[in-house]
Structure 1
Amino acid sequence: MTTAEPRNYPFSHPERLDTEPLFATLRAEEPLTRVRLPYGEPGWLATRYEDVKVVLGDPRFSRAASLEHDEPRMRPQPSQPGGILSMDPPDHSRLRRLVTKAFTVRRIEQLRPRVQEIADGLVDAMLAKGAPADLVEDFALPVPVTVICELLGVPYEDRVDFRYWSDAFLSTTRFTPEQVGECTLKMRAYLEGLIAQRRETPRDDLLSGLVAARDQDDRLSEDELVMLAMALLVAGHETTASQIPNFVYTLLTHPDQLELLRADLSLVPRAVEELMRYVPLGIGAGIARYALEDVELGGVTVRAGEAVLPALASANRDESVFTEPDRLDLLRQEGTHIGFGYGVHHCLGAPLARMELQVALDTLLRRLPGLRFAGTEDGVEWKEGLSTRGPERMLLTWDA
């Protein structure tokens, strides 16, 4: 298969949590294919697992170079300088080191009792109110929002504002470019105000630590400080808030796997890994990397200055790595998913997300016997116009 003109990407409108059907054909016949996203210049789409790992992990592919190009993207706004996702080492390493200690596996395990307390409190409220409950508003959002607020040092009572700003930050079509710009300015002003407060009265939170790194050690600029706080606030809640209902939806629509998990909750950590592999979170591909020199990849030569987009959802269904990749198998042992990315930009908050997802699934299945849709799966309302997939509203019921 060869492509003379770039294909428009995404190839089709994503339905619920379905994976793009063309990925399997491309992996077999055209693992690197030219695509054009809604915005920016054309680029290559990498669909095979090993090729995606090269794009994510090989220093010959650069994120910082995207600032010099009209990068292929799903949203009108290009990446902004100063953001950690638009940096290469050593600048990326410098910023990442400032927050790594807050997200070590050991530190996150110390937070597990607090996350369990939050989850149990939310289920208590659901039980007191009675079924049905909206999993999104009553559980999936409050868990990671509360955790990131406490960790970063952001008032929980401001969650409505920063959730709205986060949606704008992740918007593809839900918000106009003008609205996105306005929300970005409001989020910046909000965080600048919190930073000013921490300068006056430091606390035992991550934001105070970043302010100290800025003021005492001069390890990041003021703009980098604000941008890093924005990234932590948005990424620290949005992905997990989407994946909790995504995972529950997937289990409810795979009753054999759900019963397997209900019968043995010790499988929850393994289930989280398989669900991370199986569930496609984004509607597009990963953010573009630019070749710094000619690179042989997927049977073609990517020229210096060309963009490559890693299709993580396709890589996680690669037949050469995963047996029966389109089957959800909570007992799967082979292969390592790249749902959290790979290389220097591997998700900093992966240990936190894993722990939150483990606590969420365990708590819901343990405390809400017979958890099921209040109606049918067709009654789930899905997000539209955002770069992340997931239910907007998902009513559930359970056995009394």
Structure 2
Amino acid sequence: MNPRIDEARFRLLSVYHDAVARVSGRRLVANHLDHNPFASHCHVLAIGKAAVAMCHGVLDSGMAVQSGLVVYPDQQCPAAIAPSIECHAAQHPLPGPGSFAAGERALEFLAGLPDAAPLLALLSGGGSSLMEAPWEGVSEQDVAAVHDWLLSSGLDIVDVNRIRQSLSRVKGGGLARHMGARPCRVLALSDVPPGYPSALASGPFLPALGGELPIVPDWISVLLGKEAPPDTPEIDHVVVADSGTLAAVAAELGGVFHLPVHAGHGWVEGDAADMGRSLAQTLRDAEPGFWVWTGETTITLPSVPGRGGRCQQLALAAAECLAGQDDCLLLACGSDGLDGPEGDAGAIVDGETLERGRAAGLCAEDALDWADAGRFLAAAGDLVNTGPSDTNVNDLIIGVKLPR
């Protein structure tokens, strides 16, 4: 490998690791509560991939937690948080038995709170799968089948969560309608597009997403909208970090390259491979610089998908466009440290990625067609593996064009 590219890869990986650490849910929740006290004593409900970290942030702030319920992915193995806090493992990305039990437990938890007890809710991405309680007449099997179809549909997260809300007693304001007159504040790590707060974890404390539902198969249509939800009370929401926060932090850290920094170019979405080619072409055509993008792309999965996730798909498509370039590299990784079911965070590619993968007898075009980018990138030595992080604020994509 080109020594200059090798050094740049090391620096770029350091920027990713440091940026993710800067937007840790534990750190940001503690900082918010230090500067914006909520209550000296409260009850806590935390749901999502960063639920455990965010709950630790509450304790770090010195708040006394009377009771708590934390719903987290069963891929994580957290130690006990505190004697007063119940931890509940659930399934992601498809809801499973723990997810449905968590939905019922969350409703029980709220019903059991004293009338004037303040609640601090902590939300992060992944909550849509981790907590579910379907309407009467919709079975757990129905919900799981809908989620499975949605994951392979290529729909964006807002449309996906419109459909999820239509099946659920806890989404689209479902939990808010069980709050009564209790004081409540929601702290959120947002992994959804700006302007769509109700899409985060499918909006358990916000009114349902408006807008028209996307076209779905008939077997899904007959399940939707079993009951019209009543009015949802207004609850204070604070976004402690989102994709814009992540982009700003990465842009600041990018100063290590001593190049012009370009960040804040809007939300990256659409087909992962198409976006990878587009961003790589931007790098090829640009003057030397450090480029930052954030967002969430999609993949329409084949009937039998291979290894990888949307970040790996994007990175491999970018590598096709960067093939032969000795001055460009691109990183695409999930801020949560997870991209696809195998546990990789994403990938970092350069102008020699395709050559390294081909030397192992693999074809990039086939890998993209079969959503098998992870296998090609593993052979090329380009996968990034960090394990689950303490945050979840979308995918981070960084491109570097080095001076000649």
Identify whether the pair has TM-score above 0.5, normalized to the shorter chain: no
For normalisation by structure 2, the TM-score amounts to: 0.29
State the TM-score, normalizing by the size of structure 1. 0.29
Could you say which structure has the greater relative contact order, defined with CA pairs below 8 angstroms and 6 or more residues apart? 1
Q: Which structure has greater helix proportion?
A: 1
